[in-house]
Amino acid sequence: MGEEFYCILKLVSSEEILSLIMIDENDGDPIIILQNPVLMKPVTTSTGDSYVKIKTWIEMSSDDMYLIKLDKVITMTETQDVKLIQLYEHYISDGSIEVYKPAGEVKPSSTMGYVSSVEEARKNLENLYKDNKES
Domain ranges of the chain: 5-109
Q: Is 81 helix (H, G, I), strand (E, B) or coil?
A: coil
State the burial class of residue 111 (Cβ atoms within 10 Å of its Cβ: 0-12, 13-18, 19+): exposed
In words, the CATH class of domain 5-109 is mainly beta
Q: Where are the beta strands (DSSP E) in the chain?
A: 5-11, 16-26, 29-44, 50-56, 65-69, 73-78, 99-100
Q: pLDDT tens digits for 43-91?
A: 888 888 877 778 888 888 888 899 999 899 999 999 888 888 888 888 8
Supply the pLDDT for residue 127.
86
Name which of 6-10, 12-16, 92-96 the model is least confident about.
92-96
Q: Is 95 helix (H, G, I), strand (E, B) or coil?
A: coil
List the beta bridge partners of residue 78: 7
Is the pLDDT reported for residue 98 higher than 80?
A: no
Q: pLDDT tens digits for 18-43?
A: 999 999 887 778 899 999 999 877 78
Q: What is the pTM of this model?
A: 0.62
User: Could you give the CA distance from residue 102 to residue 35 in angstroms, rounded to a whole number?
Assistant: 23
User: Could you give the CA distance from residue 19 to residue 39 in angstroms, rounded to a whole number?
Assistant: 9
Query: Are the CB atoms for 99 and 51 separated by under 8 Å?
Result: yes
